[in-house]
Amino acid sequence: MAMVTLHEAAQRLSMTPLQVVVHCALHGIPCDAGVLDEDVLPALGSVDVVFAGPEEATAPAQGLVDEETDEERRWRVLRRVLEKLSGMGKYWPSRTEKRSAARGFGGSDVGLALRVVDELRDCGLLREEAHGGRELRVGLERSRRREIAEIVSGGAIKDDRLRAWIEQG
Amino acid sequence: MRRLTLHERLTEILDRRAQVDRRRTELEAELQAVTNNEAEIGRRQAETTSALEADAEAESRSRHEMIMAVLTRGAAALDEAANAWSEALRSAVGRDEDIIHQAERTVREYEDMDRRRLLEHLPAGIRENVERDVEGARAALREILGGRDPLTVPAFVAALEEDSALTLSVGLPLFASNDLAPGSLQTAVAVAVAEVVADTVRSMPQIDLASVDHVTFAKGASVLRLRFSGPSPVTAEDCAQYCALNLTDVGQRSPALRQAGVSIEARVEPDLELEA
């Protein structure tokens, strides 16, 4: 895993180091130490913001839904769930209610978002624990941050099981 | 008899016409006076308007100069503190977290008692003990912070709606030349500020963020400018207040800033159109 300083990242992205730090915060990518995994750099090139609130509009336009295949839909919801959790900084031990991961999705996508969470857990990209014996809480696996950032930025899915689930359902 | 009556009527009519002419002349004179007065009022109004504009411009310029000076001083103070903030000190601070918390609490409680004029009611012996304790706490903090006192750095926030789109500006005491090196105090400040900025963006999911610009000034100020694709879902002032309150609060919430003894005091300004 190659690490780059904020200064190097800024040069590669044609930004100032402060802009890099702000983009990291917007994407939920930790850079407290002043260094970054160079694989997350492509994700910093945009100003897409990861929202955590219930007001967000995560469903695509109706026309897009009509044209969307099941595989595209699973891919879209997967990216959105990962964007949301990483944007909230929910890398284990930081965690949130499982239902929060599905909050803000359109009615038809809520069930799929919860299935995505289960799939991520089964693939080891996410941890789950029972809070107070009842409420399930989830957090992303910190050691697989790079892999998660790649998926969020539209890169390939490295995990075979997750890729198979996206392709075949 | 009839001729005389006609003559009288004619005289009457001529008199009335003369009166009407006189009145017309008077009214025309009044009208001219009013017109002249109107022109004078217009001239005075234009003079007053331009004087007000000049005052506003001068006020704005002096406000910008003041902001620039405050940020420049803040950047210099931050640099000075950063020099004392070596990697070795960071490690030492990590071990001394309990001491920091205890010392901060002692100083805070002392300052609170001082503000409420409670110290003067204490018996002399107890007051001496309290003052000795607070001096000890301040010395411990100075030692842990590399020989300096806790530092409060300034920040300014402005939110404007132009062309039905929101622009949020945050003025920071960071030199343009700063690379935000790993482990540096400036990096800790930048990361904390970025978290607040991102939180402010997330608090307005109704509008999209279009760009993040960073304007730097040679003197030592940096302005982050975030442009959104639509008007603020709350008032622009509320948006600025939210960001400023969180910036002021982040010094207490960020473990890195707490360890470094750095806090931020943010203020809302009408605009941050600083000139180099």
Contact A6 B183 (CB under 8 A): no
pTM for the model stands at: 0.59
E-only strand ranges, chain A: 3-5, 35-37, 96-97, 126-131, 135-140
Contact B212 A52 (CB under 8 A): no
State percent of chain B over pLDDT 90: 33
List pLDDT tens digits, range A49-83: 554 444 343 444 334 445 678 888 899 889 888 88
Q: How far apart are CA B91 and CA B82, in angstroms?
A: 14
List pLDDT tens digits, range B209-224: 888 999 888 777 889 9
List pLDDT tens digits, range B148-157: 778 899 999 9
| ipTM tops the 0.95 cut | no
State percent of chain A over pLDDT 70: 80
Residue B86 has pLDDT above 70, yes or no: no
List phi, psi (to 5°) of A67: -90, -10
pLDDT-derived band of residue B168, with 50, 70 and 90 as boundaries? very high
Q: Across-strand partners of B225?
A: B169, B213
Higher pLDDT, A64 or B111: B111
For residue A67, what pLDDT is reported? 66
For residue B157, what pLDDT is reported? 95
How close B199 gets to chain A, by Cα (Å)?
Answer: 8
Among the partner residues B184, B201, B224, nearest to A18 by beta-carbon distance: B224
List pLDDT tens digits, range B18-58: 999 999 999 999 999 999 999 999 999 999 988 888 888 88
Contact A47 B209 (CB under 8 A): yes
Among the partner residues B181, B194, B208, nearest to A34 by beta-carbon distance: B181
Q: What does the DSSP assignment read for B129-154?
A: HHHHHHHHHHHHHHHHTTS---EEEE
Tokens of A111: 């069930």
For residue B273, what pLDDT is reported? 83
For residue A58, what pLDDT is reported? 42
Length of chain A: 169
CB A28 within 8 A of CB A50: yes
